[in-house]
Amino acid sequence: MKANVESAARGFVDRLRERYDVAGALLYGSRARGDADDLSDADLAVLLGGPQGNRADAAVDMAGIAFDLMLETGILIDALPIWLEEWKHPEGFANPGLIETIRRDGILV
C-alpha cells in the first residue's frame, strides 16, 4: 500500500471515530492487490461495533467524510460499513463472498 493511501485511510478512520464505534478497517480491492492506477479509489471495509444501524445512512454519511478528505488528499475512499455481527456471521450479509474476500485479501489500516 502506498504511503499516501495509507495516510488518507488512517485519516478517514480517525474522522469516523468521532461519529462511530469503529472496531477496525481493512483496505481491499485494487489498492490492496497492488494493481490500482492513480485514479483508483481506495475501497475500505469499516468494521463497526454496537447494534446494527442503517447501512445506506452510514454509507452516505461516510461518503461525505470521504469527499472532504479527497479534497485535501486527492485520494477517494469508498467506505463499506460492516457491523461486527455481520463480520462474525457473513451468511447474514447481503454478499457473504465479499466479506470472505476482504478477510482473505484485506490490509488492516
Centroid of chain to Cα 65: 12
Q: Is there a contact between 106 and 72 (Cβ–Cβ < 8 Å)?
A: no
pLDDT at 105: 93
Q: Where are the domains of the chain?
A: 5-108
pLDDT digits (tens, 9 = 90+) for 40-96: 899 999 999 999 999 999 999 999 999 999 999 999 999 999 999 999 999 989 999
> Beta strands 77-83 and 107-108: pairing type?
unpaired
CATH of 5-108, one of 3.30.70.20, 3.30.460.10, 3.40.50.1100, 3.40.50.720: 3.30.460.10
* pLDDT classification of 1: cutoffs 50, 70, 90: low
Q: Is the pLDDT of residue 2 over 90?
A: no
* DSSP-assigned beta bridge partners for residue 81: 46
pLDDT digits (tens, 9 = 90+) for 6-41: 999 999 999 999 999 999 999 999 999 988 888 889
DSSP secondary structure of 1-64: --HHHHHHHHHHHHHHTTTS-EEEEEEETHHHHT---TT--EEEEEEE-SS---HHHHHHHHHH
Centroid of chain to Cα 22: 10
